[in-house]
Amino acid sequence: MSESKKPRLESSTDPKMWMKWYEELSSEEECDLDEEDEDEIEEDFVENSDHQSESEQDISSDEDQGIPDQDTAAVEENKCGGYYLGKDKITKWKKSRSNVQVRVRSHNIIKLLPGPKGSARDAVSEIDCIKLFITDSVIRMITSSTNRYIEKIKNKFQRDRDVRLTDEREISAFIGILFLIGTLRSSRKNAHKIWNNSKGSGIEACYLAMSEKRFRFILRCLRFDDITTRNERREIDKFAPIREVFETFLATFQKNFISSEFLTIDEQLLAFRGRCPFRQYMPRKPARYGVKMFALVDAKTSYTFNLEPYLGAQPEGPYKLSNSPNDLVLRLVQPVEGTNRNITGDNWFTSVPLAIKLLEKKLTYVGTMRKNKREIPTEFLPTKNREEKTSIFGFREDLTMASYCPKKNKAVIVISSMHHDSSIDPESGENRLPEIITCYNQTKVGVDLVDQMSDNYNVARTTNRWPMVVFYDLLNISGINACCVYKANHPNEKVLRSDFIEKFAWELIKPQIEHRSTISVIPREIRRRARHLLGLEEVLPPPPPPDMPGSCIRRCYICTRSRNKSTRKICHKCSRHACKEHMVEVCTSCLSM
C-alpha cells in the first residue's frame, strides 16, 4: 500500500458528516446576575492574548512578515543541489523523496479502536452516561463546599429556613435544572420568567423541584472548594477556587473513552467580563473578553479529552508552568501518548521541534506554520512571481513541508509528520490542494465544533464569578461527552442531543420532586402536580363520617389557599369538599347513565 493512500485518511473525516448532529444557534437574555461577595472579590487583570490563529487572521503577504521582496530578483536556484535551505542556514529540506516506501510507517498504524472503555461500555441509559462524568464524588465535593459557605453567611439572614443547608439530592436537581433550561435555550432568561407559571409559560419541572428563591440562593452560594483555606491556596495557584473539581472532571474525561485517529488542539474563550486575575482580551473573538482555555478534542466525535486554562504567570510553586506553545501541547497530549494518533494544530502551536518531540511520543502532527519560522526556506514564502494553485514540497526523514499558493503573493505553509510524499488531493479539482492541506482542513475543526455544540444548549447563566464560568463549561462538555458515549453504545439508534439531555436532566431532577411531594408544608397544589408528573396515585382525604353527611364546613380542595373558600358541598364520588365553582350539577337521568 503506498503512503499516499493511508488508511487513516478516510472519507469519514468529512466535516459534513459530523455536522448532522448540530442544530442552529440561539441565545436569550438574562437580567439578574450571580453576584460576588464582598469578601471574595479578587484582583482583576486583562491581558491581550498572543494567540492569533490562522482562522483569526488573514494569511499575510511577505511585506507583513518582514520578508524581503522577492519580486525584484529571482531566487537563486538550487544553491544546495537537491535541497532547500531554511532561513536559519542549517535546516535542509530535500526537494524530492528518493526512497519511496511501500509499507505504512509504524506511527501511522492505529491499534486501539475508538469508543467507550472500561465502565463506560456498560452505560446503557442516558443517566448512566452522564453519571460517568458528573460523578457522586463531584456532587459530594460541591455539596460540602457549598454548605461551608452557607455556614459562613448564615448570620446575615434573620430566618433559618431561608439559609438551610443543601444536600446531594438538591445539588443534583440543581444541575439537572441547568441542563433542562439549557435545552430550552433559556439559560440567559430571567429566572422569574422560568418559575412564573401564572400564564402557563413556566417550566413545571423547575418549580416542582425547588422554588425560585431557593434556586437563586443555591446559585449564589454554589462553591467548589473550602472557602476557609482558599487564601492560602491562592498564594500558589490562581485557579484554586475550582482546581479540585476541575481535575476530577478531567480524570473522568480521560478515563471513559478512546479517541479516533485525529485530534485537534485549539483554544476556547469562555465569555466573562467580571473580575478575574487572568482574564484575556481577544478582539477577533465574538465575546472578546473571557477565560481562555486550551482543549484537546477528538476531531471525529467532538469528545473532549483534556483542558488547560491559561493563567498567565503563576506564583512560585507546583502550579507554575511554562506557557510556551511546545510545552503546552506536550502537556495536553499526555492522555494519548504512545497511541499513534495525529494531532492537528494552528500556526500558533506549530513548529519543527514540536513535531519531532511528538514523534518521540508516538504521535504525528499536522499544522500550519507562521512564516517567521527560521526552518522555512525562502522558496516557500509568498512571492509575486509564483504561479497560483501550485505547491512546493520539502522533505526530511520524518517531516514533510508543503507551501501552497492560493493566489498571487499569498502562501499557506503546512508541516506534517504523518504524510511523506507530494500527493495532490484529486477531489480538490482545480484548486489542486496537497493532501496535507486537505487533511488539515478536515481535522482542524474539533474544538470549534465543541464550541458550537455548547452554544446550542448552553447551561451558562450570567454571573460575576469566574469559577462559575469554568463550571458551566465543564457541564457543557460533560453533556457532549456523555452523548458521545451513548451514541457509541447505541450505534443503530438515531440520537438527538436535545432529547438525550432532557432525559438525563429529568432523572437528575426526579428524586428532588419525589421528596418535595411528601412535605406537608408545601402548597397542596404543588404536591398534587408533583405526584401527577411522577405518575403516582392521588392521596385522597378520608371521607366524612356517614352519620354527618355534608354537615361539616371545609375549604374547597381545588381552590388555592389564598382564596380560603369554605363549603358544605361534597363530591359524591371522591367525598371531598368543593365549592360551587368546582362542582357540576347534573340531572338524575344523567347521573344514572
What confidence score (pLDDT) does residue 544 get? 55
Cβ count within 10 A of residue 166: 21
pLDDT at 3 over 90: no
Which H/E stretch holds residue 210? none
Q: Report H helices in 75-197.
A: 126-131, 136-153, 168-183, 191-195
Q: Which is it for the CA torsion 306, 307, 312, 314, positive or negative?
A: negative
Question: pLDDT by residue (tens digit) across 44-60?
Answer: 778 777 776 544 333 33
What confidence score (pLDDT) does residue 44 get? 75
Instruction: Look at 113 and 149; give whichever has higher pLDDT.
Output: 149
Q: Which range has the worst mean pLDDT, 15-19, 141-145, 513-517? A: 15-19
- Grid coordinates in use for 224? 467548589
| Strand, coil or helix: 405 | strand
What confidence score (pLDDT) does residue 501 get? 96
Dist. CA 459–CA 479, nearest whole Å: 10
* Orientation of helix 466-489 relative to helix 168-183, angle to 10°: 80
Q: Which is it for the CA torsion 569, 573, 576, 582, positive or negative?
A: negative
pLDDT at 451 over 90: yes
Instruction: Look at 542 and 471; give whichever has higher pLDDT.
Output: 471
What is the percent of the chain where pLDDT is above 90? 56
pLDDT band of residue 114 (cuts 50, 70, 90) is confident
pLDDT at 321 over 70: yes
3-state SS of 334-357? HHHCCCCCEEEECCCCCCHHHHHH
Instruction: Look at 545 and 396; give whichever has higher pLDDT.
Output: 396
pLDDT band of residue 2 (cuts 50, 70, 90) is very low
Question: pLDDT by residue (tens digit) across 536-559?
Answer: 876 655 655 554 545 578 888 788
DSSP string of 277-322, one letter each residue: TTEEE-TTSSS-EEEEEEEEEETTT--EEEEEE--SSPPSSTT---
CB-neighbour burial class of residue 146 (10 A; exposed 0-12, middle 13-18, buried 19+): buried
Q: Which neighbouring-strand residues pair with 367?
A: 345, 415
Query: Considering the chain, what is the average pLDDT of its residues?
Result: 83
| DSSP state, residue 434 | B
* Mean of pLDDT values over 144-150: 96
What confidence score (pLDDT) does residue 409 get? 87
* Mean of pLDDT values over 402-414: 92
Question: pLDDT by residue (tens digit) across 202-261?
Answer: 889 999 999 999 999 999 999 999 999 999 999 999 999 999 999 999 999 999 999 999
pLDDT at 500 over 80: yes
> By C-alpha distance, which of 336, 348, 340, 338 is closest to 372?
348
Which H/E stretch holds residue 159? none
Per the CB < 8 A criterion, the answer to whether 375 and 394 are in contact is: no
| DSSP state, residue 570 | B
What confidence score (pLDDT) does residue 443 get? 92
pLDDT at 73 over 50: no
Dist. CA 569–CA 584, nearest whole Å: 11
Q: How far apart are the first and last CA of the chain?
A: 83
Dist. CA 279–CA 289, nearest whole Å: 7
DSSP string of 34-91, one letter each residue: BPPPGGG-----EEE-----GGGSPPPPTTTTT---TTSSPPPP-TTSSEEEBTTS--
Say if strands 342-345 and 262-271 run parallel, antiparallel, or are unpaired.
Answer: parallel
pLDDT at 162 over 80: yes
pLDDT at 36 over 80: no
> By C-alpha distance, which of 176, 364, 335, 359 is closest to 257?
335
| Strand, coil or helix: 98 | coil
What confidence score (pLDDT) does residue 34 get? 66
- Grid coordinates in use for 213? 428563591
pLDDT band of residue 40 (cuts 50, 70, 90) is low
> By C-alpha distance, which of 45, 455, 43 is closest to 287?
455
pLDDT band of residue 26 (cuts 50, 70, 90) is very low
